[in-house]
Every structure is written in C-alpha cells, then in structure tokens.
A and B are shown apart, each in its own frame.
Chain A
Amino acid sequence: MYGRKVKLRFIFILLIFLVLTLSVFLVLKSLEENVIYFKSPSDVKTVPELDSKKIRIGGMVKKDSIEISNNSVNFIITDFKNEINVIYSGAVPNLFSEGKGVVAEGFLKDRNFFQASKILAKHDENYMPPEVKEALKEK
C-alpha cells in the first residue's frame, strides 16, 4: 500500500520514539532511586515514618561528643533543638571538629542512631553547607 521508503521512515520514527521514551523512563527512575535527601535532626524526630533509604543529616557537631577509637569515630549531630547519635568508621574530612558544621551520609537505624557511611568534606572554615545554614536559620 505504502512505498518502501515511507514504511522505512515510519519504522525509523517509531524506533526513535521508543528509544526516547525508554531513556526518559530510565533517567527518571534512576533519579528517583539515587537521589539523597537532606534532613536535620529535628526532621528525623518529627517524620511520621522512617524510610530505609540513604539520607544525609546535617547540623553541628555537639561539644564534647566526639569519641574516637582505633576503628570508629562516634559523635552527636545537633541542630540545637534535637540531636542524633552518629556511628561512623571511616575517613573524616580536615575540618571535622566539635562545634563546627557537618554533613553525614548514611542510614537511620532508629530515631536516635544514625549509621554513617561518609562524612562530607567542607571547603573552608567559614563555609557552612547550605543545608546546615538553612537548618540553623529555621531554629
């Protein structure tokens, strides 16, 4: 009925369309899975349900809370309203110290304990992660 050329072109367009939908679907799905949300200690206390996804928690390292041994660094993150205990073993960034801002990435064990898999580096002393600044501002 139609010429060979028209048929070919139709198949070609269909193919492009399929590939496009597939890739958009893939991108969106993987975005949804791999996005890491940022929470403050207060958020953790108030959310109705804890999910098992990886999150980031930001705030200040509480004074006199760092406990260090050969294979772990434990400390408390506070936003001066609520606090959360962080259990961590791994590398710490240069500017990690008490009374300074910090962002920890990992999984919540419950509302009081956080198992961190990474502590994020900051760029300089005055720099505060935007998330922390926000969290502190809300205070």
Chain B
Amino acid sequence: MIYSSIGYYALIFGLAISLPIFFFSIKNFKNHEILDSKIISFSFIQLLLVIVSFLGLIVSFLLSDFSNDTVFNNSHTTKPLFYKISGTWGNHEGSLLLWLLVLTLFIFIFLVRSKNLLKKYRILTVLFQQIIIIGFFIFLIDSSNPFNHTFPSPSEGLGLNPILQDPALAIHPPILYLGYVGSSIIFSSVLAATCLNYISKTWAIHIKNWILISWIFLSLGILLGSIWAYYELGWGGFWFWDPVENVSLMPWLALTTLLHCVLVLEKRSTLSSWIIILSITTFTLSMCGTFLVRSGILNSVHTFANDPERGLFILSFLFILIFISLFVFFVFHKSDEQEVISFSLFSKETSILINNWFMMYFLSVVIIGTVYPIFLDVISSEQISVGPPFYHKLIIPFLIPFLIFMALGPQLSWIRGKLDGKIYLILFLIISFLISYLILKNFGNNILINTILIGSAFYLFLTTIRDFFKKKLQNFSQNLSHFGFSLLILSILFNNIFSSEIITNLKVGETFKNKKFEIKFNDLKKFEEKNYVSFKGYFLIKENNSRENLEPELRVYNQPNIITSEADIKTTFLSDKFITMNTVQNEEYFNIRYQKKPFMLWIWISVVLISFGGVISLFKNRDI
C-alpha cells in the first residue's frame, strides 16, 4: 500500500520536474555560454524519481500487495520470486513504466556522454526527448496508472499467465525495450540535428553509437522471444509471422537500414534525407509495437473499443509526434551542396542504396500483412488472417537478389569501384550454385527455387569467409554480421527442407512405428510442484541405431488454472529432437508431436553472431 503511494507520487513529481528542465533549456539555448549543469541535475532527479516509482511497483509485486490493481491482476502469492519481479513488466501498465524508465535513463546517459558536441544540439535533443517523456508520464498517470488501488484489498491475486513464467520471457521485454527506446534518442537527436543543420560526419560518428546500441538490443530481444516461442509454444517453429512478432521485426528492419545509411553519412556525407525519414520511421514503429502488443488490439480489435481512452491518447500522441517530425523535416532540412556529390553505378553508395530499397520493400510487406487485417476488421468487420504463405511468397523471391547484392556490395569501394581482378566473385557464384545443387539433388520438391536460394546464401557465405582471410581485421564487424546473416538464411533453409515431423495419438505403453522412427510411450508420472502439478511422459525414440529418451511435460497451474505443455528438446550441433505432448479431453490418448529439426542451434548462433558484429563495431567506434 505504502509502496504504491510512493511510486505514484514519485511519478507525479517526475512529471513536475519536466517543467524546470524545459525552463532552463530554453533559457540556456539563447545565451552563448556552455551547457547549464542544472539541466543535467534535473534530468538526474527525474531519472531517480522514475527509478523510485519503478522500485515501488517491484516491491508491491514482491510483497504481493493486492490492494494494487496491477499486482492483483498479474501476480499470486505462490508464484516464484523471480516471476514476481518479472511480472512487473509483464503487463500493459508496468511495461509502460519500464519504457519511461529507459527513456529517462537514456537521455541522462546522452547528456553525460555528449560533452564535446554542439551545445544547442544537446539542448534541443533534451527538449524533443522531454516531449516524449511528458507524453508517457501523462499517459501513465492518466489512463494506465500502475498504482491504482482497490479497497478492501483482495486476499489473492489472479496470477501471471504460466506461459509467461519462463526465464527467457522474463528478460525478453527489458532487452527489447532497450532497443525500442534507444530509437527515441535517435529520433530526438535527428530532429535536433535537422533543426540546426548539424547532420555531419561528427554527428554521424556520435549517433552511430546510439543506433548500434538499440540495434544490438533489438536483435537480441527478438532472438529471446523467438527462442521462447520455440520451446514454450510447442509448435516447434521459431517464427510464425504472428502480428506480435512482426511488430518487433518492423523497427528492426528500419533500424538496420538506418545503420547502413549512417555508415554512408560517416564516410561520404550523403543520404541525410534517408537518415531523417528512417529515424522517424523506426521510432514510430517502436512505439506502435509496444502499444499494439500491450493494448491487446492484436488479440481482438474489440478491446480497443472497451478502452477507447488509451487508444485515443496513444493515437493522438503518435500523430503529434509524427506531425512535429514531418514539420521539422520539411521546414529545416536543406539538402546541402554535398548531397549532390555523385557516385558511379559501381560503388558502395549504390549498393547501400539498393539495400535500402530492398529493406523498404520487406518492411512494407510486413506492415501490410500486419495492419491489413486490423484495418479490414475496423472498416468492414470482416475477419481475416494473413498467414506465412503471404510473407513467403513476397519475401523469398526478393531474398535471392538481396543476398547476391549483399555479397557484392562490400567488395566495391566508395565513389567508384572497379570490377577488375575480381574474377573470384564469378568463380564463387558458380561454386556455390554447384554445392547447393549437389546437396539438394536427392530432394525432389521445389528443387529449382531451393537451389537458387541456397546457392545465393552460399555465395554470401563464401565471400564473407574469403574476406575474413583477405581483409583480416579491416571491416571485421560488418563482415561478421554479414557472415552471420548468410549462416542464418542457410540454417533456416536447411531447417525447413530437412525437418521431419510425426504427429500421433498414443496411450501409455503404446508404440508408434514407421520406416524411419519408432516412438514408445513408456510411462507417465505425476509430480507436485510449488504452483503447478506436473505430468511427465517418458518416451523412447528409436531411429536407425540411435536411441533417445525424451521427457515432455504437462503442467497444470493452480492460479490461473491453465494447462501448459513443456517440450523436451535434445539439442546437438547438427539437429534438435523435439517432443511435446497434449491431453485430449481427459481421455487416455495423448496427442504426441515429435520433430527432428536440423541446424536449429545454428539459427540462434547466427543471430548472436549478427549482433556481435554490432558489439565489435560499437567498441571500435569508442576508440576514435
């Protein structure tokens, strides 16, 4: 009770602090001294207040203070300690508070770390960031207050959805939000730099760090979510083109494009319009992402109507931000003389531009697939869903040239590249298509498209490997990320082509047999755990000469009363064995799903490699 109140008042004081920040910023902007240290102090105080508020919520969760609505709705006394804490951000209100925390944290870090940059630019960035911060404060206090309380206080909470009680998903939101919110700093500073016509090489080097940080966190956040979906949802896949996943992919695509553009700006002082537009897009998409997932619109458009205040607020807030940013873009942005500097058709600049257009295409496909059903439901109340075939059909054909350009681009130099002495590029192309043909020769269906796809992925794979040896440490980070990407595409393709699956219904003691596998359901045992009852199945899988014992689990949680199935996965370097079981209406039969998925581990490893490229680039940038 007391902690909720502390949290609530900390929020209100935090909002009030914005006033002096605004006041001193505007005052400081006009005179020509150095940056007023009061701005930094007040930003720090604001950060502290938000931290206090966040701690207030965490403590309420820890003490299971059910007089607090958020705690009541999302926690339970028997829930393990770790998930009590993670429950703090596992809901709409708490996750918005986390957003606010990261917003204030980042602007403070920005202020501390940008000492040698233009004063006016720093102040303007703070001002733009404050607009976002104030928006979130008001949204939190007004319509998504995490500290609402009920009286008399209930004695037991409703509990957290068990599928969310998982270590990967506990840290997934904070990591993802670091990525999302990092884009707010990019957004504010791009607007500030545009106003002051400050978009330059120095600025590019400075903003590149922020782009890298949010890109790394966003990539890792998506990875965590994907791993979780793989073992927890029990479908054995890692990406379902579900709207909830798409909303995190969209800012990632925009941010990746932005990262490439900033490299051009850093080296060649061009593409500044791209950078402005992309920064605005990334931030808008990040905000939409949080909102769409947490508000429940994606589950049902009708929840939107249940709580129109929230929806209206966020929509108008987004509208204002977009309006401000477009205004800044059209009024202040002058394409300066340097923009006109031309580059030839064979140059790094051109290939990055080509990359941009491809990325924009992928982004629009994902946006259309995600938004169209919502749109149609609102307009005509016709209910549709857009599934994986839509995305596959539109993305895969374009992936082929994309991969080839990705292999060629880094081989070219700035301004005017030459293709002389690069016969190895053609040689590699032939080799990679040969390899992929040899691999796929014996697998009948779709051989043409698969060969071309795997061939082009191999092409990128080979050229990046060559660069590791040829260029040694030059461009190591870029090369590592590109290598990771080729590995990712290869693993996904192999995973898709060579996976095998068996779905069957078995009773205890029965055996399933086909040409390749034998699945024996040996035993079923019951265990009592702290907040659930577990039924463990004991299976023996025979394949050729290998035997494997797998033990999938069914968990019946007490609060809320939900059954979840825990997959048992045996991971090896080359393939995963994956088994889940489900009950059917308390009958004796269990629904068994067994999958053999090659190269699963490599999908995760390659995403880690991609992000690690970013980390290296970040540290290299620090030295300069």
Contact = CB atoms under 8 A, between A and B. Distances in A.
A30 B365 CA distance: 10
B383 A134 contact: yes
A127 B560 CA distance: 12
A92 B299 contact: no
B394 A30 contact: yes
Interface string A96-112: 11100000000000000
B299 A97 contact: no
Contacts of A69: 505, 589
Contact of A125 (B234, B368, B387, B561): B561
B505 A73 contact: yes
B13 interface: no
Contacts of A73: 505, 584, 591
A70 B582 contact: no
Interface in A9-54: 23, 26-27, 30-31, 33-38
Given A27-B365, A34-B393, A66 B386 contact: no
Interface stretch (B46-54, B329-337, B562-570): B562-570
B390 A34 contact: yes
Contacts of A38: 383-385
A73 B504 CA distance: 10
Interface residues of A, number: 39
Interface in B573-589: 580, 582-587, 589
A96 B584 contact: yes
Interface string B509-534: 01010000000000000000000000
B96 to A, nearest CB: 21
B383 A37 contact: yes
Contacts of A121: 233, 235
B382 interface: yes
Contacts, number: 112
A70 B511 CA distance: 10
A17 to B, nearest CB: 13
A89 B584 CA distance: 13
Contact of A130 (B163, B299, B372, B512): B299
Contact of A92 (B300, B512, B582): B582
Nearest to A30: B393
B560 A36 contact: no
B389 interface: yes
B234 to A, nearest CB: 8
A68 B505 contact: yes
B591 A91 contact: yes
B302 interface: yes
A125 B587 CA distance: 19
B160 to A, nearest CB: 11
A133 B302 CA distance: 10
Contacts of A95: 562-563
Interface of A: 23, 26-27, 30-31, 33-38, 56, 66, 68-73, 89-98, 121, 123-127, 130-131, 133-134
28 contacts: A27-B364, A27-B394, A30-B393, A31-B390, A35-B386, A35-B390, A36-B384, A56-B385, A66-B584, A68-B505, A68-B589, A71-B505, A73-B584, A73-B591, A89-B503, A91-B582, A92-B582, A92-B584, A94-B562, A94-B564, A94-B583, A95-B562, A123-B163, A123-B299, A125-B561, A125-B562, A126-B560, A133-B302
